A and B are shown apart, each in its own frame.
Chain A
Amino acid sequence: MPIVTQEMIDRIIHKYPQKDSAALPIMQLIQAQNGEMLNREALRAVSKATNLSLNHIYGIATYYTMFNTKPVGKYHLQVDTCVPGFLHGADEIAAHLSQILRIAVGETTSDGLFTLSTVQDLASCATGPVIQVNDRYFENMTIAKVDQLVDALRKGHTPENDPSMTVYSECGILLNDRTQPDCRTLAFYKKNGGYRSLAKAKSMQPKDVINEVKEAQIRGRGGAGFPAGTKWSFLPKDDSRPVYLICNADEGEPGTFKDRQIMEFNPHLLIEGMAISAHAIDAAKAFIYIRGEFAWIAKILETAIEEARADGQLDHVDILVHRGAGSYVCGEETAQIESLEGKRGNPRPKPPFPANSGLYGCPTIVNNVETLASVPYIIQHGAQAFKKIGVPNNHGPKIFGVSGHVNQPGVFEYPLGTPLRTILEAAGDVKGKLKGVIVGGLSVPILTAEEADGLLLDFDSCQKAGTSLGSGGIIVINDTVSTPELALRTIEFYHHESCGQCVPCREGSRVIENKLRGIVKGRGKMEDIDLVIQLCRTIPGLSLCPTGEAFSAPILSMVTKFRSEFEALIH
């Protein structure tokens, strides 16, 4: 067994208000020290360290994809073949790796050096194809670069990643100048006016800060578009329990890679936003729940928090970075709370809502990274200035990520209500003939080229057009793509990510995947199409959490809008 001392364990446990929360980080630590594997011996060590029963630990270990209960090679090559990756040629990359390593997906080379896997969405949609090797990303991969990567790894070298993509900010609020080498530092941030907003907020009464954010009518940027200030005002008054703030940085909706732009290059903006929000809601403890794959971004955030703390900015709140371990559903706020409590990431039934009973049964506010990063601007310039950006009822700047078939995929910060056309032009325009576009991350209905024509990108306009702005992850699809194949990829993602708790999502996604695979493989029947449609109409509003709707809506739109393509595959 590796050397994990009690002191190391205690140090982790002491960071948390309740010790069970340390389960995931302790498992991450023990796995890393145990050849990237949690075998039974390691699991027993975790059980002992956490004082949690073995069945509970094994339940966690098999829930999160980043825990390996079986051995993996020294280098675990994980190719993201989800929809954006697929559009960028990830299948060819996986096939090539399989060929040069002479192993199938899921296998390990006989020398124990490489394990090849395909994975679902690494939030590198504009920089795909992407391969995750252990805890590092290799983006913008080509066949030639794959050969170089494998050669280098064989020699024990780790090559540099190329994360380049188009970045443009019309608003200059959320995306900073990342070409500056010191863009992440406190000094750079303060030189450009950073932390003045926090100073201003601290001189205000918390209720006035809440009112300002409420007045700005900022709608949540995580996907649901619920006004953040209103969410804050749901906190119970005169309650003796502590209030917790959680920053949702579990960016995992395919097509979405915006939050990592803020966290990686402008971390102090998020920290200042959290510090202001914590002051407003009187939270002394705040968490950044970041997806586990973003290990290096978690380090950037920790460094930035340390800088801010040393500078006296965080005297009123302790911010802790907590890494997830591979689960899309943990982006749902109640699942995130469960995960933060050291459990499987199963969403809770609502009510109660987190504002009343969230983390450890205490009042909790969960806000998205981009939402919190918008707060400094609101406080510094006032709600009225914020409302001047965007269109009525849809205020402020928004980061749009563009992936798929455009010439220059990347991230683009524009006011809400900006025409889709403008953003596609900024992304170098569509490659080939546009077939459809998914504007809000994979969980929203696809729009045909005609439907997308003239669309404005704000919550209300998207709803009117029969889709949703969601997270603003725009996936562009040209006419070379088969819609049944696209639908199959889509359901594969949600089936894989279903927490497995409720019947409609767990079994519904399995049946839909099974039927769509049958159709794509030429084994389908006409009634399969109707069954898929029927399930997609029944599941929304029936599943325990929004995941059921997250796959029903896009699949239903793909099957109904492009039905002839499905029918053409039935013999």
Chain B
Amino acid sequence: MSKNIFIDGKPITFEDGKTVLQVARENGLYIPTLCYHARTGPASMCRVCVVEVEGMRGLQTSCSLTPSDGMKIQTASQRVLDARKAVVNLLLANGNHDCLSCEVNGACELQDAAYHLGIETPAFFVKEYDERDASAAFIIRDPNKCILCGRCIVGCNGQVVNEVLEFGYRDSHTKVICDADLPMGLSTCVQCGECVQLCPVGAFIEKKAVGKARRWETHTVRTTCPYCGVGCQLELHVKGEQIVRVTGVEGAEPNQGHLCVKGRYGYDFIYSDDRIKTPLIREANGFREASWDEALDLVATKFQQIKQEYGPNALAGVSSARSINEDSYYMQRLFREVVGTNNIDHCARV
């Protein structure tokens, strides 16, 4: 028998194992969230997703709330809206959330929550600013924009397991630290950018993207990362013909949004003038451009010559770590079956 909850009076069927937030979202209902992310799970820390449940004393965080049959939930009562407004106002008051200059303007979850709650300007101000940390190669940290949702920390420790980020200090002095509170550039951070991908606001941003484009000026192109055989799914954020930033595709196999430093930040090579665009054949006077057919015919001929002259073991096949598994498999079959040698290897590094 199907089980129902009542959200704002409307009966909604739910399956076990889902939270109230998930059920609400699947049914097209908007509940703001900040610390919740599908990959980092419920944290119950920001309190902006609270709802009122009949028979429960305090407000409940919908991200962690397990529905039970017949549960009556209010998502837009005055008490709920007042609470959410208080949370968003407190966050706005205690940071430097300057949307005008912010890189994530238009893609900010705090901005969205404020918008939907009708908050135009913060109701009050308490300003204490910390310095931005631009010491690292690809990531800029701005603690003044950090809302301490902890998503980056769960990502860094629980997902990519680099164990660099953590909450340090406490009370309103709590902040996200790198190692023993070092500048990111001096820490053990490998710049994978998981924190940037998970950040709901502009506390972690891509250094290379600063000033390049507003979020609404770019369109996305989905592609596969060319660096290694894993085949991570990328989203290229493109303005005109220029890539502005790269993100991992959330929910897509095999990487589920994760990327490494190369896949996320190493995209400039495609614009290099030195990039080789056709096969090149070396002759006495240096390289000359050639067609693929000509180049492959040349390689095949040379392989045959070597095999005839010195035997198949004079040849070896090494596949690139950029090759996918299937290509490496074909490479070894080519060498074992066609060339007739077991000399095969894989560079296993880029």
Contacts and interface: CB of A to CB of B under 8 A. Distances in A.
A541 B170 CA distance: 21
Contacts of A59: 166-168, 177
Contacts of A57: 180
Interface string A273-292: 00000000000000000000
B50 interface: yes
Nearest to B123: A531
A539 B157 CA distance: 31
Interface in A493-520: 495-504, 506-511, 514-515
A349 B58 CA distance: 12
Nearest to A506: B172
Contact of B179 (A54, A344, A534, A542): A54
A54 B180 contact: yes
B27 interface: no
B55 to A, nearest CB: 14
B87 interface: yes
A43 interface: yes
Contacts of B164: 55
A500 B173 contact: yes
Contact of B167 (A43, A344, A497, A509): A344
A118 interface: no
Given A349-B64, A511-B94, A500 B171 contact: yes
Contact of A504 (B64, B87, B167): B87
A509 B172 contact: yes
Interface in B25-61: 42, 44-48, 50, 57-59, 61
A499 B170 contact: yes
A504 B61 CA distance: 13
B180 A511 contact: no
Contacts of A534: 86
B91 interface: yes
A510 B148 CA distance: 15
Contact of B45 (A62, A495, A502, A508): A502
B178 interface: yes
A507 B179 contact: no
Contacts of A360: none
Contacts of B163: 53-56
A494 to B, nearest CB: 9
A507 B93 contact: yes
A233 B57 CA distance: 22
B76 to A, nearest CB: 16
A40 B186 CA distance: 14
B159 to A, nearest CB: 15
A353 interface: no
A168 B167 CA distance: 45
Contacts of A349: 42, 44, 61, 64
A542 B167 contact: no
Interface string A519-542: 000000000000100110011111
A421 B135 CA distance: 63
Would you call the interface of chain A mostly helix, strand, loop, or mixed?
Answer: helix
A544 interface: yes
B63 to A, nearest CB: 9
Given A56-B163, A500-B174, A544 B45 contact: yes
Contacts of B180: 40, 43, 54-55, 57-58
Contacts of B232: none
Contacts of A538: 82-83, 86
B179 A63 contact: no
A509 B172 CA distance: 8
A13 B160 CA distance: 28
A545 to B, nearest CB: 10
Contacts of B46: 502-503
Residue of A57, A503, A534, A541 with most chain B CB atoms under a 10 A cut-off = A503
Would you call the interface of chain B mostly helix, strand, loop, or mixed?
Answer: loop
A565 B210 CA distance: 51
Residue of A55, A498, A500, A510 with most chain B CB atoms under a 10 A cut-off = A55
Nearest to A535: B86
Given A59-B177, A509-B172, A511-B94, A544 B44 contact: yes
B171 A62 contact: no
B40 to A, nearest CB: 14
Contact of B90 (A62, A503, A540): A503
Interface in B141-185: 147-148, 157, 163-174, 177-181
B59 A541 contact: yes
B169 A500 contact: yes
A82 to B, nearest CB: 15
Given A542-B59, A544-B44, A544-B47, A58 B170 contact: no
Given A507-B91, A514-B126, A495 B59 contact: no
A507 B170 contact: no
A504 B86 contact: yes
Nearest to A514: B126
B59 A55 contact: no
A357 interface: no
A511 B169 contact: no
B124 interface: yes
B79 to A, nearest CB: 9
A62 B172 contact: no
A278 B171 CA distance: 35
A543 interface: yes
Interface in A113-146: none
A502 B63 CA distance: 14
Contacts of A40: 180
A542 B172 contact: no
A62 B181 contact: yes
A21 B134 CA distance: 36
A511 B90 contact: yes
B29 to A, nearest CB: 21
A506 B178 contact: no
Nearest to A47: B180
Contacts of A542: 47, 50, 58-59, 83, 86-87
A529 to B, nearest CB: 13
Interface string A57-100: 11100110000000000000000000000000000000000000
A57 B44 CA distance: 23
A84 B348 CA distance: 67
Interface string A143-179: 0000000000000000000000000000000000000
A511 B93 contact: yes
9 contacts: A59-B168, A63-B167, A63-B168, A63-B170, A499-B170, A501-B174, A503-B45, A508-B90, A541-B57
Nearest 8 pairs between A and B by C-beta?
Answer: A500-B174, A541-B58, A507-B90, A53-B163, A55-B166, A349-B44, A510-B172, A59-B166
Interface of A: 40, 43, 53-59, 62-63, 327, 344, 349, 495-504, 506-511, 514-515, 531, 534-535, 538-544
Given A55-B178, A538-B83, 20 more contacts: A56-B166, A58-B179, A58-B180, A58-B181, A59-B167, A59-B177, A62-B170, A497-B171, A500-B171, A500-B173, A502-B44, A503-B91, A506-B174, A510-B126, A514-B126, A531-B124, A538-B82, A540-B58, A542-B50, A542-B59
